[in-house]
Amino acid sequence: MRKLRLWRMNKDKFDFSKVKLHDTTLFTNLSREEFLKENHLYLLNLSLQPYEKYIKFTENYLDTQAENFQQKHLESIKDENEDWKVSEEYAKRMMEIDGEFAQRFRESIIVQLYSFFEMTIVHSCEMYYSNKEIDNEAEETPEKAGLDYAKAFLKNKAGIELRLIHQELDFFCKLRTLRNRLVHHQTTFFTDDEKKINDIRALSKNRFQLTMKHGIAPNYFLYFDKPNFSFEIIEKIKSLYEKLGQNGVYY
């Protein structure tokens, strides 16, 4: 209790605004790298928790609302005095939530999570030498640095054998193709070069639907029917950083 009172008495003398997320100056016995080696996964989890909570909340809300309208629809069918238009409206609302609303939400989450991943992996590369407290002539990060820049840095500067993180990198390379498709709002009646279609097809297995319609040229449709895909993206980020941390690259 005495220590707590002393801290309360002196807290106004300490400028907490100067403490940064990865500031290790308060831990005098630890180097910056030692601190991150022990704590970077914890810090990563803290950053990903809001996404996990948001996804769970929204998916549960959409499910509940769709089930409510489904129940009302079924009850109205049994009620002989109910206008058929009312029953039809309930069915329409149910399909709107279960289809249109859920699709838009899942598409937006995929884009957000990929953006989080790409921003994070590039930042980890930018902070590589600083985290190790190595004096190094800083290279200027390309203005539009992304996954390709990070892969080259991890291989050529951090000395990581990419085969060790191939599973995660392959996943995110394919996810990037999907993300680019989503940000251009082209998930129905679209065509693309064979490599991109193959990337999306490989990624879709047991995760979402990619349907082809034959015509003058093949047309493709995307349908995200499995909410667990969003959580898998989060787990892939964690898995990658667990391996990166073992090789001296931290969140």
pLDDT digits (tens, 9 = 90+) for 74-133: 888 887 766 788 888 999 999 999 889 999 999 999 999 999 999 999 999 999 988 887
Residue 194 has pLDDT above 50, yes or no: yes
Is 5 among the domain residues? no
Is 126 among the domain residues? yes
Is 170 among the domain residues? yes
Is 67 among the domain residues? no
Q: How far apart are CA 187 and CA 176, in angstroms?
A: 14
Is 8 among the domain residues? no
pTM of the predicted model as reported, rounded to 2 decimal places: 0.82
Whether the CB-CB separation of 162 and 121 falls below 8 Å is answered with no
Q: At what angle do helices 194-204 and 166-183 cross, to 10 degrees?
A: 110
Q: What is the span of the domain harbouring residue 119?
A: 33-49+110-131+142-245
Is 240 among the domain residues? yes
Is 184 among the domain residues? yes
Residue 197 has pLDDT above 50, yes or no: yes
Residue 3 has pLDDT above 50, yes or no: no
Is 55 among the domain residues? no
Number of structural domains found in the chain: 1
